[in-house]
Structure 1
Amino acid sequence: MLAYIFGVVLFALGICVSVALHEAGHMVTAKAFGMKVRRYFIGFGPKVFSFRRGETEYGVKWIPLGGFCDIAGMTALDEVTPDEAPRAMWRFKTWKRTVVMAAGSVTHFILGFVVLYLMAVTMGLPNLNSTPSIGTVSPCVHDTTTQTDDAACAPGDPAPAKAAGLQPGDEIVSVAGVSTPTWADVTSKIQPMSGPVAVDVKRDGKVVPLTIDVVQVSRPVTDTSTGQTTVIKVGTIGVTMMRTFSYNAVSAFGGAGSFTVDMFSQTWQRLLEFPERIPAVVHSIFGGQRDPNTPVSVVGASRIGGEAVQAGLWSLFLLLLASLNFFVGVFNLLPLLPLDGGHIAVTWYERVRDWVRGLRGKAAGGPVDYTKLSAVTMVIVFLGGAVTLLTVTADIVNPIRLQ
């Protein structure tokens, strides 16, 4: 139980650090461009303490669920004092304002990469895409009639993969001339086969052609609907998939970079699927089974983090923390107010509009009137609050669990 509580607190602390650095990204870039940063606070609600250094007040508030960086003149509607007016953010060039607004999300991306890099050099990165890389090559293959049958090799037992020269680390790229991008593709292709089969593997960046004598063996298969186990004949070559990729301090940069690209792709896919997952969240609140693919709140993510630590699954804990940073970073760049992406969209709208006006011989149109966007902003805030309330409720009454 103590390990679970420690995991929950540690994950929540990781989120707080991420938020603090997000706001620090805004602050550092704003100061670098000469904008005036009035306040930098972590948390919301009543103030715990604060101090002033230079022209900026730094502090902490009681509710550690966010933070803010108060930059003078973020919009033309913000009140600024006469001495602040020349350094108001809205007066700066479009690209500078864009950098400041995007800095928070970029900080999340950097944090996610750092977490993945540390994972790569310490415990390796998981094979999330089921890349058909070989983890182990068995000394033999033989019939098994139960799920726990682990009999040792007997004299004369065949060793297809070993005999063909397959090595740990090889990646199977094709079987019988058919491309096999995932491990499932490899197994589905090999299982119906028997006898010599052409297999291409990638080894040290080169494609090596091999011929493997596929052997038909008995394997137990359990029907998930009935729970009954039957024994069937399947083709096998005697290899297991590599579940974790290991790296050194140098190669970890490439490994973490490639993994980051994959996570960006998965994050974008989750965002596209987000609206259609909400009904399942509502269903789970009223007693339905919780779909593990439904969105989770900070509460749910912290609970999963606690369970991961309790089970000793530190790789899952860190992967979840990296994933959350990528999700928040991408989500915050959506062109919707009051998100940073919404402010960036308005900034570039002003730039394009003024460029078009200039082509027509007209003067610049001036800053956008945010009051005209207040209705849309309130709708977004309401929807965001409703989704947050739903996911928090679901994570309390019917949370996603590791087991």
Structure 2
Amino acid sequence: MVFILGIVLFALGICLSVALHEAGHMWAAKAFGMKVRRYFVGFGPTIFSFRRGETEYGLKWIPLGGFCDIAGMTALDEVTPEESKRAMWRFKTWKRTVVMSAGSAMHFILGFVILYLMAVTMGLPNPAAQAAPTEAVISATSCARAATTVEQLNDTACPPGAPTPAKTAGLQAGDKVVSVAGKPIKTWREMLAAVQVASGPTPFVVERNGQQVNLTVDVPRVQRLVADGSNNTTVKDVGMIGASPVQNTAPPLLTYGPVDAIGGTLSFTGTMFSETAKRLIEFPSRIPAVVESIFGGERDPNTPVSVVGASRIGGEAAERGLWEIFVLLLASLNFFIGVFNLLPLLPLDGGHIAVVWYERVRDWFRKLRGKAAGGPVDYTKLSAVTMVLVFIGGAVTLLTVTADIVNPVKLFQ
């Protein structure tokens, strides 16, 4: 029941985001004096509508989007004689840019508000808690065991007879590894890299109680599931000594007061923008993995998800009482949609902004050459490119929805 409630709440959050996106366009257009004919949330048959002033407001049956109908968004749009003077294409470039970017701005504002409320209630994720151990200091020794599946990797129990290279060689808790096979070591990551390529008796130098101690560790080779550098995993034959680092004791969440939460939220918002940009760059390269997952391949948690998949993850988070993940996912989705919508591709808002500024720059060069300003861009000449992008977008949406139904991302095992 909680799972269903989580899905419904997340879907409602997405609907609110869409409604605010279109409201951003509407409010900006009205502020500049443009005529807004209609503002609707959803598509398909109309559930209800009403008119206030010159604008018709309404709700439609399919809550997967919405629209804000501004008179004369392009010079090709039909307008009545009364609307002609207030047609959007007649307004200055910067005003049209503000109107077209206002939708994404609403996503950014909503994402910030969500993070701020999270900061003063449940807290924001602490980057220090998520950081990998830095110093190569050993906290405990165990065994070197093979692990070729995620389940085996998560099972830390040592099987009978498993070798204990670190313990056998005399490594102790608190030892700081200085060098492996003569190679200086500064971080735990460097130590792991040196151990993984080692085999057999390997000289170690550790710092213990202020003194350097020379040890020889007989490093066995075992089959392990490891990252291959592109966020994918593969089974490799690696060296392993059976030692774990000092655990990060930083709190997972940081809570703030009403005032200092502003700075904390701004800082974390910057981190989320950075992650969003990274995801957008990786987006095309992850589509093949989505296709593979549809036909039975293991679903990579880092592959793109649709609204269906995001809502499902939100439901699972709610079911487990992990509301901080639920809220964080909703905020990150707003940032992603806001940035994605500003890409200079038609029919996205960013594509329309690019056309508007093309006209401005083109007319500036024409003026330098003593020529009159050119006319508005003929959108019919861009229709072929637009249709190709619409087709690609539709295909990606269909793929992600299908994958989220037949092989959904599972963050919680």
User: Which bracket does the TM-score occupy, shorter chain normalised?
Assistant: 0.7 to 0.9
Alpha-carbon distance, 1:231 to partner: 10
**Aligned mates of 1:66, 1:124 — CA distance in 2:** 31
SS at match of 1:84: helix
1:227-247, CA deviations, whole angstroms, 9 ceiling, x for partnerless residues?
xxx995648667524322232
Alpha-carbon distance, 1:177 to partner: 11
Alpha-carbon distance, 1:347 to partner: 0.3
Q: TM-score, normalised by structure 2?
A: 0.76
Specify whether residues 254 and 187 from structure 1 end up closer, same or farther in structure 2 by C-alpha distance, changes over 3 A only.
farther
Percent identity, aligned pairs only? 69
Q: TM-score, normalised by structure 1?
A: 0.78
Corresponding position of 1:368: 377
Equivalence map 1:276-287=2 (5 Å): 276-287=285-296
Corresponding position of 2:391: 382
Structure 2 residue 320 is matched with structure 1 residue 308: no
Corresponding position of 1:112: 111
Structure 2 residue 80 is matched with structure 1 residue 58: no
SS at match of 2:298: coil
**Aligned mates of 1:38, 1:331 — CA distance in 2:** 26
**Aligned mates of 1:147, 1:271 — CA distance in 2:** 35
1:106-165, CA deviations, whole angstroms, 9 ceiling, x for partnerless residues?
11011111111111111111235734799xxxxxx777789589xxxxxxxx9979xxxx
Q: Is the 8 A contact 2:48 2:60 kept in 1?
A: yes
Equivalence map 1:169-248=2 (5 Å): 194-195=206-207, 224=224, 234=243, 240-248=249-257
- List alignment gaps of at least 5 residues for structure 1: 135-140, 150-157, 162-175, 198-210, 217-221
1:34-89, CA deviations, whole angstroms, 9 ceiling, x for partnerless residues?
00000000000000000000100000000000000000000000100011000000
Which one of the candidate residues 357, 362, 365 is aligned to 1:353? Answer: 362
Residue identity in the other structure for 1:287: G
- List alignment gaps of at least 5 residues for structure 2: 144-154, 159-171, 176-183, 196-203, 216-221, 226-234
Alpha-carbon distance, 1:248 to partner: 1.9
1:197-250, CA deviations, whole angstroms, 9 ceiling, x for partnerless residues?
9xxxxxxxxxxxxx9999x9xxxxx97559xxx995648667524322232222
Residue identity in the other structure for 1:299: V
Residues paired across the two proteins, number: 351
Structure 2 residue 86 is matched with structure 1 residue 87: yes
Residue identity in the other structure for 2:113: V
Q: Is the 8 A contact 1:133 1:241 kept in 2?
A: no
Residue identity in the other structure for 2:257: N
Q: Is the 8 A contact 1:132 1:241 kept in 2?
A: no
Aligned-residue CA RMSD (Å): 3.3
Specify whether residues 367 and 238 from structure 1 end up closer, same or farther in structure 2 by C-alpha distance, changes over 3 A only.
closer
Specify whether residues 370 and 143 from structure 1 end up closer, same or farther in structure 2 by C-alpha distance, changes over 3 A only.
closer
